[in-house]
Amino acid sequence: MTLIRPSGNLPSAQRIILPSRAFLFSWRDQNLAARHAALEESAVHFADCVAGDDMALRDMALLGVIADAMQPLEDFAMLASAWDTPWTGLAHYLRATEWTRFGTNNFWQEAPSWDDGRLDVLAGHAYRDAATGQSVPVFTVLSEIDGFSDEDSALLDIARDATRARLRGLLRLLANDWKHFSPYFIAFKHGGLTLSREDLIAVADDISAIGQDTPRIAVAIAVWRRSLKREDVAGDANNDVDEIARIAAGSGRLALDLVGAFLESRSALFESIEFGDDGEVRGLAPLQIPWTVWLRREDLERLSGTSWNFGRRSSRPVRSRWERSGR
């Protein structure tokens, strides 16, 4: 295999490249699998508890499903934020190890309205220059190395536009799920702050006084919600426990898919780097960028009016990734 000679502008292998590679590969090969296993195990445990009569145990099992489902949303927020606003002079992954109290909430409030440039960075179609804050398209960099044709560039534009559209929809969907489920996630992390139904009376919002004849509302799950200014309650009176578990688990699985796509889009670069025995970069193998990792077949066909056959990745980023055929 012929290696491309690295330029003198590569970041330090010891401080940036190798630690970043280890971080991404460990997330891809270990953390992601553990998150999948935890969510599925919680779902099975909840199903077992629902069959019993212990409501307190059932509540904790349901919170366990919600917590294992919302953890990938927090993971995705931390990873995406790290690559969107990296620290100058440091490896991007280091920002993902920083936890801030409102970081995940802020991400899910803002990300659905991100502009095209920020979505391109999220998708791995661009990278953020930490020194200038500008997003630099990966397409531009690769075209200088690989000599993309006009057709190549047109296909990449289709992939980029389709990815932006799909990410916007997915971010809006998951943002709504985070807003709904995060109080239960936080309650579980803070010690399983479930609220016994014997200690709770739920009534309609327009009720100002509660009497013996006041209509009660059945609540499937309730937790204490703590804030800086007050203590109140979060509860769900619209769904039964099975539906809550189903919706939460589906959200978690979707978030895990996004985390996996994020890791694959970054890992591709490091998979192309060949290291010597001394840990220094020997050269770059032909890049195998997974341009369509965020997409379904219909996303591309809807934009391009063309049928796409998704093939194996190879050294050619576009034509070998997709075999194009007219309908």
What is the three-state SS of 3-17? CECCCCCCCCHHHHH
CB 40 within 8 A of CB 252: no
Mean pLDDT, rounded, for 227-244: 80
Kindly report the number of other CB atoms within 10 A of residue 157's CB atom. Answer: 13
Token representation of residue 26 = 């460990």
Contacts with 121 (C-beta within 8 Å, 6 or more apart), sequence order = 83, 84, 127, 128, 135
Distance, in Å, from the CA atom of 4 to the CA atom of 204, rounded to the nearest integer, reads 68
In this predicted model, what pLDDT tens digit does every residue of 65-107 receive, in sequence order?
Answer: 999 999 999 999 999 999 999 888 888 889 998 888 899 999 9
CB 49 within 8 A of CB 58: yes
Q: Where are the domains of the chain?
A: 13-191+240-325
User: Closest Cα to residue 318, out of 293, 291, 284?
Assistant: 291
pLDDT at 254: 96
Q: Which helix (H) or strand (E) holds 322?
A: strand 322-325
Query: Is the model more confident about 212 or about 42?
Result: 42
Query: Is the model more confident about 293 or about 229?
Result: 293
Predicted confidence (pLDDT) at residue 314 exceeds the cutoff of 70: no
What percentage of the chain's residues is helix, strand, coil (to nearest 5)? Answer: 55, 10, 35
Percent of the chain past pLDDT 70, that is, above it, reads 80
pTM, to two decimals: 0.84
Token representation of residue 283 = 């050269």
